[in-house]
Chain A
Amino acid sequence: MQTRQQAYRQGAKDAFPSVIGLIPFGLIVGTASTAAGMDAWLALAMSIIVYAGASQLAAIGLMVQSAPMPIVLATVLVVNLRFVMYSASLAPFFRELSTGRKWLLSYALTDHLFALVNARFTPDGSHKHVDAYYIGGAVPTWLIWNAMVAIGIFAGTLVPKQWSLDFAIPLVFLALVFPALTTRTHWITAGAALVAAFFTAGLPMKLGLITAAFVAVSIGTWLDYRQDREKRIAR
């Protein structure tokens, strides 16, 4: 990757498999959006503005029940908190860029791009043209994702309500949860979240999700802290 041109092309090439993988997921997110009762144009605007599938589904689930805006925003923030970790990991690569470019690249950040940059570059070594590489991957990702969501959105408006396609939303989350359960503490956290979600489901203003998530993260974090402390004492 001597020239910027080569870096753009390499980025697009490396992103290709994950872009293909996004096609069905984008279709599902789009279809579930309108099947859940979201206005088609709002769903499309959301896909472009928010550009983060799981949080779009979480927000739509709340918006069709007219949850207060602060609750929706808090939910979106929590679902997207992983980006804070990615941001910390990518920051050294983007240090030399202008502020405007930093914001633009941030907007386009996805799970896959984070993984690609970390696989191809090291923060201490040479990361010449890393921004060109990133954009080379980001542009096809963005185009294909939003095109697929758009197709799904208009397909979703054609699906009869009796098909209960809104059930695809919890099913997508179900598929995402197991890879996240890597240790016993993570399983306990998930169990605590289920119990807390059950007992907070009746809370007004759809406060249940945020409350349950907060309780479960606190339990997981506390258990993890205690384990680390025991390990240190044992040593």
Chain B
Amino acid sequence: MSIATDWYGVVTIVGAGLVTVAARASFIVLPARTAVPAWLKRALKFVAAAVLPALILPDVLFRDLAPQEIVNIYRIAAALCAAWVAWRTRNIFATLGVGMAVLWLLKLLGSV
């Protein structure tokens, strides 16, 4: 299910680059004394807390499903363990290590 080097991929990546550089350049290239609107400042405080969970949930619950499976139990269990590690240690590599290890272990046990 690899995306070939097609127009969809190329155009999307160039677009993603433009969107990103626009965010980075925004206030740097805008005329001096342009202030961040108060409502935007307030909303920006909550972007990370909103976007990251919304990214995580479908990748954990609904990816790589076995036939008849509604949610991916192994991934949920692995993600809960990883979440605990992330919360306790704030360490990205410990989180990754535990999450992957639990997933592999469960898949191994499940395939026996």
A51-B20, A52-B20, A180-B52 in contact; A175/B96 too (CB < 8 A)? yes
Q: Hey, what's the 0/1 contact readout for B56-80 against A, CB within 8 Å counting as 1? A: 1111111110000000000100110
Which listed residue, A42, A107, A174, touches B83 by the CB 8 Å rule?
A174
Asked if A173 and B56 sit within 8 Å, CB to CB, the answer is yes
Minimum CB–CB distance for B64 against chain A, Å: 6
- Across the interface, which residues of B come within 8 angstroms of A102, CB to CB? 25, 28-29
> Are the C-beta atoms of A59 and B46 separated by less than 8 Å?
no
Decide: B95 and A175 in contact? CB cutoff 8 A.
yes
A177 and B48 in contact, given A49-B14, A87-B28, A197-B53 (Cβ under 8 angstroms): yes
Interface of B is mostly: helix
Whole-angstrom CA separation of A76 from B90 in the bound complex = 24
> How far apart are B105's CB and chain A's nearest CB, in angstroms?
12
- B24-46 vs A, Cβ < 8 Å mask (1 yes, 0 no): 11111110100010011111111
- What is the CB-to-nearest-CB distance from B24 to chain A, in angstroms, rounded to a whole number? 4
CB pair A107 B24 closer than 8 Å: yes
> In the complex the two chains form, what is the Cα distance from A172 to B92 in whole Å?
7
Q: Does A213 contact B (CB under 8 A)?
A: yes
In-complex Cβ contact of B58 among A72, A172, A208 (8 A): A208
Report Cα–Cα, A39/B99, bound state, in Å.
25
Judge whether A190 is part of the interface by a CB distance below 8 angstroms.
yes
Of all chain B residues, which has the CB nearest A192? B50
* Among candidates B28, B56, B57, residue contacting A90 with C-beta atoms closer than 8 Å: B28
Complex Cα distance, B50 from A92, in Å, reads 29
> How many Å lie between the Cα of A64 and that of B64 in the bound state?
13
| Interface residues in A214-232 (C-beta closer than 8 Å to B) | 216-217, 220-221, 224-225
> Which B residues are in CB contact (< 8 Å) with A170?
55-56, 59-60, 79
Q: Do B42 and A178 touch across chains, with their CB atoms under 8 A apart?
A: no
Contact A224 B54 (CB under 8 A): no
Set of chain A residues within 8 Å of B60, measured between Cβ atoms = 170
Across the interface, do A106 and B59 meet the contact criterion of CB distance under 8 Å?
no
1/0 per residue, CB under 8 A from B, across A156-196: the answer is 00000011111111111111111111000111011111101
User: In the complex, what residues of B have CB within 8 A of residue A209's CB?
Assistant: 51, 54-55, 58
Residue of chain A at shortest CB distance from B32: A95
**Which residues of A sit under 8 angstroms from B4, Cβ to Cβ?**
39
Contacts of B44 in A (CB 8 A): 81-82, 84-85
CB distance from A206 to the nearest CB of B (A): 9
The interface bits of chain A over 56-79 (1 if a CB of B lies within 8 angstroms of the residue's CB, else 0) are 001101011010010011001111
Residue numbers of B with Cβ under 8 A of A are 1-5, 8-17, 19-21, 23-30, 32, 36, 39-64, 75, 78-79, 82-83, 86-87, 90-93, 95-96, 99-100, 103-104, 107
